[in-house]
A and B are shown apart, each in its own frame.
Chain A
Amino acid sequence: MKLTGNCKISKNGVFLDGEFQKQLQPVDENWKKEIYSKLAIDYPKFHKMDALAKMAFLSVEILTTVSNIDKFKDSEIALIFANNSSSQNSDLKYIHSYNVKGSPSPSLFVYTLPNILTGELAIRHKWYGENCFFIEEKFDVEFFLEQVKFYFKKGAKTCLCGWVNSFEDIEECLVFNIENKGTNDTILKEQLLTLYNQ
Chain B
Amino acid sequence: MSQIFMTYGTMITPIGNSAEENFIAMMEEKSGVQFVENSGFNQENWPLGKILSLPVENRYNELLKRACANLIKAHGSNLFSDEKTLVIVSSTKADINALPKDTFASTRRILEEELHLKNKIVVISNACISGVIAINTAADYLNHTDYTKVVVIGIDALSDFIVYGFQSLFALSSEPSKPFDKNRKGICIGEASGVVILSKEKINDAFHVNYLGGSSSNDANHISGPSRTGEGLFRSVKLSMERASVSSEQIDFISAHGTGTSYNDEMESIAFDRLELVDTPLNSLKGYFGHTLGAAGLIEVIASMKMMENNTLLKSVGFEEKGTTHPINVLKENQEKEVTTILKTASGFGGGNASLVLKKCV
Contact = CB atoms under 8 A, between A and B. Distances in A.
Specify whether A and B are partners: yes
Interface stretch (B31-39, B159-167, B184-192): B159-167
B220 A122 contact: yes
A84 B104 CA distance: 9
A128 B227 CA distance: 12
Interface stretch (A11-19, A97-105, A176-184): A97-105
Interface stretch (B119-127, B261-269, B277-285): B119-127
Interface string A162-187: 00000010000000000000000000
Counting chain B residues whose Cβ lies within 8 A of the other chain, the interface size class is 35 or more
A132 B218 contact: no
Interface residues of A, number: 49
Contacts of A127: 218, 220
A146 B145 contact: yes
B168 A106 contact: yes
Contact of A75 (B120, B164, B217, B221): B217
- Interface SS majority for chain B: mixed
A115 B216 CA distance: 13
B164 A98 contact: yes
B217 A115 contact: no
A134 B127 CA distance: 11
B126 A115 contact: yes
Contacts of B108: 137
Interface in A105-130: 105-106, 109-110, 112-120, 122-123, 125-130
Interface of B: 41, 92-94, 96, 99-100, 102-104, 108, 120, 122-127, 133, 137, 140-141, 143-145, 160-161, 164-165, 167-169, 215-224, 231-232, 235, 239, 243, 349-352
Interface of A: 74-75, 79, 84-86, 88, 91-92, 94-95, 98, 103-106, 109-110, 112-120, 122-123, 125-137, 143, 146, 149-150, 153-154, 168
